[in-house]
Every structure is written in C-alpha cells, then in structure tokens.
Amino acid sequence: MLSVSGLRNERIGLNVKSPDFGPLMDEIKNRKIVLIGESTHGTHDFYKLRAEITKELISEHGFNVVAIEGDWPDVFRVNKYVKGQGKDKNALDSMVDMERFPLWMWRNQVCLDFIEWLRDRNLNSEFKTGFYGLDLYGMKNSISAIMDITKENFPELYEETRELYSCFQTPLSDAANYGRRVALNQQRSCQEQMVKELNLIRDEFYQSLGSGMDKEEYLHVEQNAQAVVAAESYYRNLFTPGVSTWNIRDKHMFETLKSIDEWISSEESGKIVVWAHNSHVGRAMTDRREQLGEITLGEVASDHYKDMCFCIGMFTGEGSVTAAHNWDEPGHYFNLNTPLEGSYEQLLSRVGGDFMLGSDTLKEMKRPLLERAVGVIYRPETERYSHYFESDIAGRYDWLIYLDKTSALEPVDDLSYWQPRLKGREKDFYPSSL
C-alpha cells in the first residue's frame, strides 16, 4: 500500500479550471467502453468534469454513444432531440418525460448544457452521437411507448398487446405495489405475459425492418419491451427473500449496453461512454461476488469486453452535495461529513489537492479500506452504516479522479426547497471551477 508521500509522488495533478486529460486520454481513446463513475449523484464538479471528458472523447477520438443511468423511454426523447428529430425546442423540453424521482439527477444545468452541445455538434456531423438510458425504472413510460408505436404501426397487434399489459392490475405509477401483491398472493405474476410481448415484438416488428420501419425505432420498441421484462422481475422480487434485485438491475443495464453496441456497430464502430454511479461502474468485490453473488455493470462489462473496457471512479473529500432526506422527496442541499478514519477518502484528502491516479498506481494500493457512496438519499447522521462499504480500489477501478472540495449540483426543479439559508456566507453552491 502506497503511503501518503508515495501517492504525492505518483499523482497526476489536475487543474479543474483548465483540465488536461492527456494521460487519461492515452489510456482510454482506443477502448470500446469507458465507464465514468461518481461517488455521489449530486456533485456539480463530477458532472462537469465527466461532461468535459466525454466531449473530448466524442470530438477527438470517435466515441459515438453516451449511455446514462437513466430510464430508456425518457432518455430516448433526449436522443431524438440531440439528433435533430422530434418537436422539442430545447434540451429542457426534451427532458419533460423525466418526471420520476430523483429529478435533479439529470434535470440540472450541466446536463442541459451538454445536451445542447451534443445537438449542435450532431447538426454538423454525418454520423450522429446517440444518447440513451440503461435503467429499468421507467416501466410506465415504456409500456406507453410500446402501445403508441403498436397502435400506429401494427394496429392488428394492438388489442393483444393491451391485453398482455393489463395483467398488472395496478397503477403502473406504483409498480412496487405489483410486487407486493404478488408476494401476498393477491395476484399472479405477469412474467409470462411480459416475455410473450417481448417475443411478439421481436417476431412481428423485426419483420418490418425491410419494409420501411426505422432501425432505431425498432431498437426503441424492443428495448422498451426488454425494460418491462426486467422491471417486472425487479418489482416482483423486491419482496422475495434471497433474490438480488441489485443484480437484476445491473444485468439489465449491461444487456441494454450490449444491445446499443450491437446496433450501432452494425453501421459503424461503436465506442460508448457510460455515466453512472461508482457503485455500478466499479467492479464487484471478490468477497461480495463469492458470498453474495453480487455483480455490477462494470464487472459484467469488463468480463465481456475484456481490455476494451475501462472503469473510472471519481471521489471527493469534502464540500456539499444534493440528495434527498427520504425517497421521493425533492433534492436538498447538504454539507458532506468529513471522511471517516480508515477510508480512501481520508487517505486521498491527506495527499492534498485535485489529482488523478493511473492504473499502475492503483495496483499498488491493494489494501481494503472504506469507500463512500452517496446515492440519491443522504443520511449524514448514520453515514458509516448508510454510505460506507469495505472496498479495494485496486481491483474496482482502472483510473481514479479525486477532487478535494466539491459543490452541490444545482437542480432545475424545486430550487426554493434546495437552496440553503446562507445567512451571509459565501455562496459555495455556485461552483467556481470549470
């Protein structure tokens, strides 16, 4: 394990106001899959730095897909906007379907700026960079999209499709209630019907590709159907002891990533940037794989793509973060607790400043320590048990970016709820970097 002084000698300095990603680009420019993580879902500096890395990969190194930890149907509308399709007039309009908690995760100014940048670039490019969602939570919107496309293009299949999806017998805005009802034997599982609909789409819709159906529209409807299959399994097993819904979710994200890759690679070489939390990007720990059977998106992608896959983790020491007190509540401004003793965050903060650590350096850090993970909920009063886990970053990441002090991500929605009472303090939530 490298000492603090050893890490100071090995670190690659990073000026966040004018970042030089040269050493990182040398590592990733020829990869096929680059996953860029974040230790929180509410840090402005992570979002901004990730966007800048992605812009360079697209502009200079031929990357042509951005895939995010968002729901397929909602993000596909953004994909149409960045490709100059649809009726949306600006990036925020294209995000109107992103109505599910947590709104700030994608409905923030950094993402809006990136989407506008990508649209402008695509307008002058022969091959347009896509923007897709990997997650499964948008079951309601996925079913709605399938019904609309079926009614317009395959009216003879509409009634059968409607009958299959009516199986849920519960408002799709509360999909967890479906899982609860199945667990209590109040209704039968809909697994068979969801798989049948997926196969129906694959059989009937695929045949139409040669007769005028757009290839990306087919990808859209098939991925919606696949998301519904995965979401049904996820919600049905929420209340089933011994079944890892985490694995269901990360496996689905990988299968979606692979489908996008296969689709884009049918016309040009696919090179994909993934935006997701460190908990998905980092490879699963060996002990958790063996004891719990846990997988991660980064783990499965690395197994499949081998050396063509590269996992980047982003960490912070102190500052502020946007998160919710509880599920389904608006984003709130929090001050992060100082890193705990025995954590990677504390070790990195002692090194000082903003910096990157390359692959060779990470391999020399093979000693388990705690790693902090703040998702969409932050519980500072129980931080050790709510937000830290035992980790070994030597195996989890290929590259690490550390930012010593970071600022909370400013949401587009519920701003009055989020904005802290400053009482004359410096407005640290207005980021000065990048």
Domain boundary among 224, 243, 262: 243
At 322, is the secondary structure helix, strand, or coil?
A: strand
Establish if 13 belongs to a structural domain.
yes
- In three-state secondary structure terms, 67 is strand
For 297-312, what is the mean pLDDT?
A: 97
Residue scoring higher pLDDT (269 or 420): 269
Q: Which of 266, 267, 270, 295 is nearest to 281 (CA)?
A: 295
Residues 34, 28 contacting (CB under 8 angstroms): yes
Give a yes or no: residue 173 inside a domain: yes
Please indicate, yes or no, whether residues 431 and 353 belong to a single structural domain of this protein: yes
Q: Are residues 294 and 383 in the same domain?
A: yes
- The answer to whether 252 touches 70, Cβ cutoff 8 Å, is no
Q: Is 363 found in the same domain as 276?
A: yes
Whether 151 maps to a domain, the answer reads: yes
Strand, helix or coil at 359? helix
26-51 burial, b at 16+ Cβ within 10 Å, e below that, comes to ebbbebbbbbbbbbbbbbbbbbbbbb
- Does 86 fall in a domain? no
**What total of structural domains would you count in the chain?**
2
| Across 309-331, average pLDDT | 95
Last residue of a domain, one of 202, 224, 243: 243
Determine the distance from the C-alpha atom of residue 99 to the mean position of all C-alpha atoms in its chain, rounded to a whole number: 16
pTM of the model: 0.93
> Residue 320 CB: number of other CB atoms within 10 A?
22
Residues 308-315, mean pLDDT to the nearest whole number: 98
Kindly give the interhelix angle for 297-305 and 245-265, rounded to the nearest 10 degrees. Answer: 40
Using CA atoms, how far apart are residues 197 and 145, in angstroms rounded to an integer?
A: 13
Q: Are residues 232 and 292 in the same domain?
A: no
Q: Amino acid letter at 87?
A: K
Residues 281, 408, single domain; the answer is yes
Question: For residue 12, what pLDDT is reported?
Answer: 96
CA distance 58 to 78: 17
End-to-end CA distance of the chain: 32
What is the CATH classification number for the domain harbouring 325?
Answer: 3.40.1660.10
The average pLDDT across 279-289 equals: 78
Does residue 89 lie within any of the structural domains? no
For 215, half-sphere exposure in the C-beta direction (CA atoms, 13 angstrom radius) is: 9
Integer Cα distance of 184 and 377 in angstroms:
28
Question: 239 and 287 share a domain?
Answer: no
Residue type, 106: W
At 209 the pLDDT is 59
Where residue 205 falls among pLDDT bands split at 50, 70, 90? confident
**Using DSSP, how many helices (H) and how many strands (E) does the chain show?**
21, 11
Same domain? For 285 and 183 the reply is no
Please name every residue paired with 332 in a beta bridge, in sequence order, or none if there are none.
323
One domain, residues 233 and 277? no
> What's the mean per-residue pLDDT of the chain?
90
Q: Looking at the structure, tell me whether residues 212 and 357 fall in a common domain.
A: no
Question: What residues are paired with 403 via a beta bridge?
Answer: 316
What does the pLDDT read at residue 431?
Answer: 32
What does the CA dihedral 291, 292, 295, 296 come to, rounded to 10 degrees? Answer: -100
- Euclidean distance between CA atoms 222 and 324, whole angstroms: 33
Confidence label for 123 from pLDDT (cuts 50, 70 and 90): very high
Range of the domain at 25: 1-70+271-434
293 and 350 share a domain? Answer: yes
Angle between helices 215-237 and 175-183 (to 10 degrees): 40
Task: Give the model's pLDDT for residue 426.
Answer: 37
Mean pLDDT of 130-145: 95
- Indicate whether 106 pLDDT > 90: yes
Q: Calculate mean pLDDT across residues 50-71.
A: 97
Which two structure tokens, joined as six digits, stand for 267?
């016309």
Q: Give yes or no for residue 311 having a pLDDT over 90.
A: yes
Tokens of 165: 């999806």
Residue 122 lies in a domain: no
Q: Is the peptide bond before 73 cis (omega within 30 degrees of 0)?
A: no
391 & 318 share domain: yes
Say which residue, 414 or 273, is predicted with more confidence: 273
Tokens of 101: 């908690």
Residue 175 lies in a domain: yes
3-class SS at 214? coil
pLDDT at 3: 86
For residues 92-119, one letter each, b for 16 or more C-beta atoms within 10 angstroms of the residue's C-beta and e for the rest, the string is: bebbebbebebbbbbbbbbbbebbbbbb
Highest averaged pLDDT of the listed ranges 265-279, 284-298, 391-405: 391-405
Residues 304 and 398 in one domain: yes
